[in-house]
Amino acid sequence: MARIIFPLLVGIATLFTGTAVAQSGATLRSDAPDSHTVVKGDTLWDISGRFLKEPWRWPEVWRMNRDQIRNPHLIYPGQVIFLDRSGPWLSVGRRIGGTRSDKLQPQVYTESLENAIPSIPLQVIEPFLTQPLVVDQARIEGAATIVATETSRVLMGSGDTVFAKNVREGTEVWQILRPARPLRDPVTQEVVAFEANHLGTARVTEHGTPATLEIVSAVEEIEVGDLMVPSERPSVFAYAPHAPEREVDGRVMSIYRGVTETGRLHVVALSIGERDGLERGHVLALHRNRGVAVYKDDEGKESFALPDKRYGVGIVFRVFDRVAYALVMETDGPVAVGDMVRKP
């Protein structure tokens, strides 16, 4: 987790400066407190939500006090967040339980990165950052394929040997997957990709045709016909939340694990991706279609298309060509397949 938190906070360090940033359009909650003491389990999103109506706008209002914070890039439990309503601005004060001295002198402080406060709950999305989530037809056609198992066993696990074709040299570690269900655009019903069922990893022990591999890890049983793609370097979520520069129009295409509705801190797949200008860190508003109402009276009946309802927000944390994955951060109702996502 430390390797994820550190790049996250360093990546947004330019937003945390000792000088005031430009006046933002962020508005305070009516019940915003004057201060908040950071506790273990807090996130910057949660802390900001105590002060702001739109907590995703926290990069616009944070102002770090370099004289009081031990590391201007990190926030730790025990420190106090103060609200300056004139901005509004948020700044970090002295740590509770710290010592004061009238005489200033050089000091060295150490903190564990694992104790740092992340932007969003990274433990929820960490598995999604290291596993292949989506495969399109081109990737399926170019993937390596397990063609045989040692001793003709049907199901394989960690430590077992498999043989695969199309294993190119230069790649030693492979991720094993099985294309699960198709991801369809809820409007056009076009299959835009296949959600990948991550099975485990394998390491090449001998190149050839076929190549010999040892299964290093297995989260499910592996069998002949399963696909393999080169293992990707762990993807780090190192982006502050921000709104897209242009309008976007997408749909909730699926909910992870195949359910039809979900809620806060759950992962959803969207029908838009890189080709639509989406990037990691983008915050999107969730909208629900209220449908059409029919009004009847003595003169007949009229149909009225009801306005969409904005009911929550999500943050994009992984993007593919035509698909993106987002974590639902706020909602006042269930998130359902077919709901719309737009610029907040």
pLDDT of residue 62: 74
- pTM given for the model: 0.73
Instruction: Identify residue 71 by its one-letter amino acid code.
Output: N
- The owner of tokens 């306005």 is 307
Edge-to-edge strand list for the sheet holding 89-95: 35-37, 79-84, 89-95
Judge contact between 61 and 52, C-beta under 8 A. yes
Separation CA 37–CA 279 (nearest Å):
32
Count of beta carbons in the 10 Å neighbourhood of residue 218: 18
**Predicted local confidence at residue 249, as pLDDT:** 93
Q: Which of 242, 248, 240 is nearest to 272 (CA)?
A: 248
Give residue 312's pLDDT: 95
* Crossing angle for the helix pair 122-130 and 2-11, to the nearest 10 degrees: 100
pLDDT digits (tens, 9 = 90+) for 63-103: 654 444 344 346 788 889 889 888 888 888 765 554 444 44
Q: How many CB atoms lie within 10 A of CB 28?
A: 14
Residue 174: the pLDDT is 92
Q: Is 129 helix (H, G, I), strand (E, B) or coil?
A: helix
3-state DSSP helix/strand/coil % of the chain, to nearest 5: 15, 40, 45
Q: Class of the 249-342 domain?
A: mainly beta
Give the integer Cα–Cα distance in Å for 309 and 290: 7
CA distance 69 to 95: 8
344 residues of the chain, pLDDT tens digit each? 444 444 444 444 434 333 333 455 788 999 999 999 988 888 888 888 999 999 988 878 876 544 443 443 467 888 898 898 888 888 887 655 544 444 444 444 444 555 667 777 777 787 677 676 787 776 777 789 999 988 767 677 888 999 999 998 888 999 998 887 888 898 899 988 888 888 889 999 999 989 999 999 888 889 899 999 888 766 555 567 889 999 999 999 988 766 677 888 899 999 999 999 999 999 999 999 888 899 998 888 999 989 999 999 999 998 988 999 999 999 998 999 999 999 99
Question: Strand pairing partners for 28?
Answer: 52
Please provide residue 158's backbone torsions phi and psi, each rounded to the nearest 5 degrees. Answer: -55, 135
- The secondary structure element, H or E, covering residue 135 is strand 134-135
For position 65, what pLDDT does the model report? 45
C-alpha span between 41 and 62 (Å, rounded) = 19
What ranges do the domains of the chain cover?
A: 2-95+110-119, 131-230, 249-342
DSSP per-residue string spanning 148-213: EEGGG-SSB-TT-EEEEES--TT--EEEEEEEEEEEE-TTT--EEEEEEEEEEEEEEEE-SSSEEE
